[in-house]
Structure 1
Amino acid sequence: MPINPEENKKDTSFISEKIKQRPINRKKLLRRTIITISLAVVFGIVACLTFLVLQPVFNDTLYPENSPEKISFPEETVNDELSPEEMFANDNAIAASEAMSLEEDEKNKIDEALASYSFSQSDYGKLMSSLKLVADEVGRSVVTVTSVTSDANWINDSYESSGSASGIIVADNGTNLYILAPSSAASDAKSIRVTFCDNSTADATLNLMDTVTNQCVIVVKKADLDEHTTKSITTAALGSSNSGNLTGLPVIAVGSPMGIKDSICYGIITSDKAPLNLVDSSYKLITTDISGSSSGSGVLVNLSGEVVGIIDMTYCPTDIPNHISAIGISEMKTLIENLSNATNRPYLGIHGTTVPIDFQHDKNVPAGAYITQIEMSSPAMHAGLQSGDIIVRIGDYAVNSYEQFASRLAQCEPNDIITVTVMRQSPNDYIEIQMEVTLKSSTHN
């Protein structure tokens, strides 16, 4: 019998389904939200720290930079310099040859013209203007170094004090600017700020400080300077303070010779060969007739704009306390190289002078570096060196003068153990004594 499909359908009208949402657990939701946020914060911190740690490595790998070039200056050679006698002879020869080529009437006309010409104030103005142009060009390499330090007054209120002095840009290796300045402008500084000739400023870091001359070299990254400043500044031209006799030659004091920023003074050199009584060195003092400030700083330059001395009023003669004095640049070039390259300088701890030739011949005193004074607690004192000893050899190198001693010592390094041979006076004659000395350092950063 056929089945009727309609009869097979079951009645499902009694089934009723209603979907209900699970109730929200607010505490659980809040807890999960807090955990998610906390994990996100922790991940962000870890990611930031990882980036900061690895970023220099990635930069060095992807963008390698060449190591900064070491700073060096050409070695001065006496043969390249003309003595005053040679210059005078050359001038006479040139004048004679020119005179022979002139007709008699032409010479008379020249003599009459020179005799009839009178110099006026306009000529003087032109002369001073030309000197000002030299000073302005040098001023592009002069900077003001300002140190900021934290301190407290007598009622324990904290404050910041600052001191400043003029410095000079002595080198540029393409990456950094190296600036020579008095140590007082950088010692114990919380921060060091450099102001350039266009009044722009940049932060600097101390490279190395010399305790003998109280000079230091600070470094400014060129990447911190804008294009205008980079084009405005220049590196100073270091001349020579040993080229013949500088006494009587005109010089310009640039920087802060009057204790005021960007002050300029003109004058002549009154002496240039006086030795400075500084430990382990043979620096020379340059004096001038320029009246300045006891706190003056900056440089002395010749009429070609070359630096011949670093102004340091510490060594002014007591009877002319306010006349500008400077340390000769020739003996300082090695120091500037060492401070720029962060090369520590050796310290022995003696003061001395060269034994005069007449003493060598007349009194049979050995040639060498005569010790006039020993620094307290110095390597020289610990080794047994005494005032009156004459240093005749360092290691295998003969020493015939105090300048040779200073030059040879500068080639050593701190912590080197050197053998110093001295001649010490006995009741009858000089006896030779050898001593081993462990050098210390005269620089720090």
Structure 2
Amino acid sequence: MVSSAARTRALRRIGPLAGLVLCAALLSGCDGSASPGGAARTSRSPGAGQAEAADGLQAQYQRVIRDVLPSVVQIQSGQDLGSGVVYDDKGHIVTNAHVVGNERTFKVTTANSEQAFTASLVASYPPQDLAVIKLDHPPDGLRAASFGDADKVEVGQIVLAMGSPLGLSSSVTQGIVSATGRTVSEGSTGGGTGATIADMVQTSAAINPGNSGGALVNLDGKVIGIPTLAATDPQLGGSAAPGIGFAIPASTVKTIAGQIVRYGRVVDSGRAALGITGRTVVDAENRPLGVAVVEVHPGGAADRAGIQPGDVITRVGDTEVTTITSLSEALAGDRPGQRTTVTYTRDGEQRTVNVTLGEQ
């Protein structure tokens, strides 16, 4: 949203983008060398080949933008602005939970249109920072986006981020997929949901306030993710770290949005849980030591394993746990029903138990 940039912990810096230069060089024309038979081959100059490659890539960019941008909308939620992606021709739009906030009605502006349409909340799912709203009166010709296969997303792919950064509707930036499979936690202040999200796509495409809920698109015109977070750099006083943004993968978007559209809520989150309420505990020097169990949910995974209020969790499986956030990250890649171990301290004694994880 425009009013507050999403926050996440800073990751390592990445080098400058060089994809376009490499592409042009690799697609250059023949080198003019002689054929095996000795006859000279007709060739174009290297400059002409590079120009052709650049023209072809530019034409592909423009084709993708023409195809996908009509499916990306601007969402006004109260006084804040964000983005959304048309999910189907019935008027369902998927966006971030932090974009809709606590609002239930919205104004939606489609690409290249000045008319604002009204929309209502279907459901919000903050643990995955996703939500679905529905246009009250979908316009004719509403075009749904096409979502890609998350398993085919590879590091180095060229991507375009489409949305309304800083309120500038129908904006497009470009970059590459910098990494996949990131587990990232967003802040709970300034409008964030505090969600810990697994398998996120890291991109160098500029992600600015207002891009949240928009589309991260490959050159096949498929939405491969929903831009959600921009990294912050503690060395820059918490300012946005250039070239490090994150998008919720298309597979997660389709799973969560599909359930909301069909059932009006999420019925199978696929997110593992211990079934506790906890808080971070620190030592005398304010260093985090683990997660103190404040409440054990009856019948939950922790309850079945004998974990009690007052226990301090220090490890899940092979992952050290020092804070609530690290506990969420330790569970983010697990599935309900999966067996793991939980290490905790009780009355100064360390214990380890087997746990069958529940569902959040």
Tell me the TM-score normalised to structure 1 length.
0.50
Provide, for residues 159-200 of structure 1, a one-character-per-residue CA deviation record: whole Å limited to 9, x for no partner: xxx22211001234xxx3211112243233363122123523
Q: Tell me the residue number matched to 1:406.
A: 335
Provide, for residues 309-353 of structure 1, a one-character-per-residue CA deviation record: whole Å limited to 9, x for no partner: 1101255565762433212222333222222232335676559xx
Are residues 126 and 382 of structure 1, via their aligned partners in 2, closer, same or farther at CA, if it must alter by over 3 Å?
closer
One-letter amino acid of the counterpart of residue 217, structure 1? V
One-letter amino acid of the counterpart of residue 135, structure 2? V
Q: Which SS does the other structure have where 1:188 is aligned?
A: coil
Q: Tell me the residue number matched to 1:238.
A: 147
| Match for residue 219 of structure 2 among 297, 303, 313 | 303
Aligned residues: 273
Q: Tell me the residue number matched to 1:204.
A: 119
Q: Tell me the residue number matched to 2:84.
A: 167
d(CA) in 1 for partners of 2:122 and 2:98?
14
Q: Does 1:195 align with 2:117?
A: no
Q: Which SS does the other structure have where 1:290 is aligned?
A: coil
Q: Does 1:328 align with 2:258?
A: no
Q: Which SS does the other structure have where 1:134 is aligned?
A: helix
Q: Tell me the residue number matched to 2:91.
A: 177
Greater relative contact order (CA < 8 Å, ≥ 6 in sequence): 2
Are residues 318 and 136 of structure 1, via their aligned partners in 2, closer, same or farther at CA, if it must alter by over 3 Å?
farther
Deviation at 1:143, TM superposition (A): 1.1
Are residues 280 and 268 of structure 1, via their aligned partners in 2, closer, same or farther at CA, if it must alter by over 3 Å?
closer
Q: Tell me the residue number matched to 1:130.
A: 60
Q: Could you tell me whether the CA contact under 8 Å between 1:274 and 1:285 is conserved in 2?
A: yes
Q: Tell me the residue number matched to 1:249.
A: 157
Q: Does 1:186 align with 2:100?
A: yes
Provide, for residues 99-147 of structure 1, a one-character-per-residue CA deviation record: whole Å limited to 9, x for no partner: xxxx9669973xx526656346576355323302211211111111112
| Match for residue 202 of structure 2 among 287, 292, 317 | 287
Q: Tell me the residue number matched to 1:69.
A: none
Gaps of 5+ in 2: 1-34, 187-193, 276-289, 319-329
Q: Tell me the residue number matched to 1:388.
A: 315
Provide, for residues 226-249 of structure 1, a one-character-per-residue CA deviation record: whole Å limited to 9, x for no partner: xxx422x311111123226x1111
Which is further off, 424-433 or 206-215?
424-433
d(CA) in 2 for partners of 1:433 and 1:422?
5
d(CA) in 2 for partners of 1:296 and 1:284?
19
Are residues 248 and 219 of structure 1, via their aligned partners in 2, closer, same or farther at CA, if it must alter by over 3 Å?
same
Q: Please show how residues 146-157 of structure 1 align to structure 2 within 5 Å.
A: 146-148=76-78
Q: Could you tell me whether the CA contact under 8 Å between 1:282 and 1:406 is conserved in 2?
A: no
Which one has a larger percent strand, Structure 1 or Structure 2?
Answer: 2
d(CA) in 1 for partners of 2:43 and 2:355?
71
Q: Which SS does the other structure have where 1:405 is aligned?
A: coil
> Please, what is the CA RMSD of the aligned residues?
4.2
Are residues 105 and 217 of structure 1, via their aligned partners in 2, closer, same or farther at CA, if it must alter by over 3 Å?
farther
Q: Could you tell me whether the CA contact under 8 Å between 1:374 and 1:387 is conserved in 2?
A: no
Which one has a larger percent helix, Structure 1 or Structure 2?
Answer: 1
| Larger of the two Rg values belongs to structure | 1
Are residues 294 and 430 of structure 1, via their aligned partners in 2, closer, same or farther at CA, if it must alter by over 3 Å?
same
Q: Please show how residues 10-49 of structure 1 align to structure 2 within 5 Å.
A: none
Gaps of 5+ in 1: 1-102, 149-161, 352-371, 392-400, 410-419
Q: Tell me the residue number matched to 1:113.
A: 43
Provide, for residues 284-319 of structure 1, a one-character-per-residue CA deviation record: whole Å limited to 9, x for no partner: 232222334244331111000111111012555657
